[in-house]
Each structure stands twice: as structure tokens, then as C-alpha cells.
Amino acid sequence: MRYVKWAFWTVIVLVVGGFLHYTLPQHDIVRVVGTYQERQDLTDWTRIFWSTPDDQSGTLTNRDVQFIQAIRANGKPMVYRNEDTGWRWPPYFKFDTATLQTQADDLRSTAEAPKWAVVTHYGWRNQFLSIFPNAVGIRPVAGPDVRIIPWVNIVILGGLLVLILLIRAMWRQFRERTIEPLIDEAADKWDELGDRAEAMDGKARGFWARLVGRGRK
């Protein structure tokens, strides 16, 4: 039973943690080396890792997607997709894909004369599934060692914690002020019924005793 409980909580933590890790913004310090646009087939299950920029793109089997190629500060390559999120999930409300592509092109540099930039993105890169994180913003920075404080994540996770505590407090208040009085009332009624039944029982017994007593006489 203990293992079942552990397994349950592990799955919950993995799902919630994975969801947040995929959805919340992250920052990479990179050097942009190129951009390209490629037709993508969007019919298998990995469709969930691509955006639906507008309603008509929801029914398309393939369409062009823009990409940003970059080398991270640690020397490893990273490729971002650059897609509108529109009014859908995740709520980045990104409509400036073409502008972002232009900015990325403008920051393009070589290893000899690097221009460093911070790419804000969400999502995962996976070579086997051919999925890419979605870049949502880019800005130049002084060098590869700048320190970035993830204020947005601090605020979102803090807000989420407040929301969970609020819902817990609401539930406790509801239980204390609404459910428990009802249970007490029901318990009182039950006791009352019990008392009455006992009284009836006593009466019935008396009646029976009288009857039987008389019969025996």
C-alpha cells in the first residue's frame, strides 16, 4: 500500500513538474548563427508540441515554421522554433513572430566576433521527437556570463502557491462553518431518534411483558 501511495505522488509530481517545466519561460544566453524556415508535417501526436497560431492553422496538415539556430554560452547548439501562440495555451499572447525573426537575424554573429543575446523560450528540445522550444523574446546582453534573475517565474510560482493556500483555506472554512454544523445537527437528530426508539422499545417491552405476564397468569 505504501508503494502505491509513493507511486501515486511520484506520478503527480512528475506530471505537474513536467507541465510547469514545459510551460514556464526559461532563459538561454546564446549567439545566433542563423535562421531558416521549413515546412512541417503536423499530423501525428507530436502536434501537441507545435503551436496553433490562428484558427485556420488548426486544420492544416502541414505549414511553414520559422526557426532560429543558436550556439549557447556553453558551446552546445540549440534550435528554437519561432511561432505565434495567439490567444491559446500557453498564455504568452505572442503575435510578433516576424519581428522576432528580424531581431534574431539582426543579432546574427560568428564565433570570432560573437554578439551575445538572451533568448526567452518555453518548451523542450528533443531530437527523437523533432520538437523545439518556442522562442518568445530575444535581447542583446553584454557577455556570456550575465546573471539573469527569473522574475516572471518567481511571480508565477509565488502566485500559484498563494492560490493553492487560498483554496485550502477556503475549503477548511467551508468544512468548519458549513459541513461540520450539518454533521453535528445530523448526529443530534440521530441521538434524538435513538432516544425515542429506546423509549418506544421500553414501552413495547412493557406492553409485551404485560401481555405475556397476563398470559402466564
Partner 1 sequence: MIGFLRFAVIGLGALTVLFWLVRIYARSLRREALEEHWARESAAGVDLGPRDAYVEAGMDDYEHGLTRRLVWLVFLLPIAVFAVVVFVMNYR
Rounded Cα–Cα distance for residues 101 and 36 (Å): 9
Binding mask 98-117 for partner 1 (x = CB under 8 A): -x------------------
Check residue 151 for interaction with partner 1 (CB under 8 A). Answer: no
Is residue 27 near partner 1 by the rule CB under 8 A?
Answer: no
User: What's the number of CA atoms in the CB half-sphere (13 Å) around residue 94?
Assistant: 26
User: What SS3 state is found at 173?
Assistant: helix
Burial 125-150 (b: 16+ CB within 10 A, else e): eeeeeebbbbbbbbeeeeeeeeeeee
Does residue 207 bind partner 1 (CB under 8 A)?
A: no
Using the contact rule CB under 8 A, the part of the chain among 10-18, 89-97, 184-192, 197-205 near partner 1 is 89-97
87 binds partner 1 (CB under 8 A): yes
Cα separation, 80 vs 177, in Å, equals 52
Q: Taking the complex as a whole, how short is the minimal distance between the CB of residue 94 and partner 1, in angstroms?
A: 5
Question: Is there binding between residue 93 and partner 1 (CB under 8 A)?
Answer: yes
Please report whether residue 42 would count as binding partner 1 according to CB under 8 A: no
Helix (H) or strand (E) holding 151: helix 151-174
- Stretch of residues binding partner 1 (CB under 8 A), selected from 7-15, 81-89, 182-190, 206-214: 81-89
Minimum separation from the CB atom of position 92 to partner 1 (A): 6
Measure the CA angle with vertex 96, ends 142 and 61; round to 5°: 125
Q: Is 65 exposed, middle or buried (0-12, 13-18, 19+ CB in 10 A)?
A: buried
Among 26, 96, 114, 122, binds partner 1 (CB under 8 A): 96
CB 206, min distance to partner 1, A:
43
For partner 1 (CB under 8 A), the number of binding residues is: 20
Residue 91 binds partner 1 (CB under 8 A):
yes
- x/- track of binding to partner 1 for residues 117-146 (CB under 8 A): -------------------xx---------
Q: Where are the beta strands (DSSP E) in the chain?
A: 26-41, 62-72, 77-82, 117-122, 134-140
CA-based torsion, 156, 157, 163, 167: positive or negative: positive
Whether residue 67 contacts residue 35, with contact meaning beta carbons closer than 8 Å, is answered with yes
Would you tell me which residues interact with partner 1 (CB under 8 A)? 54-55, 86-88, 91-96, 99, 136-137, 166, 169-170, 173-174, 177
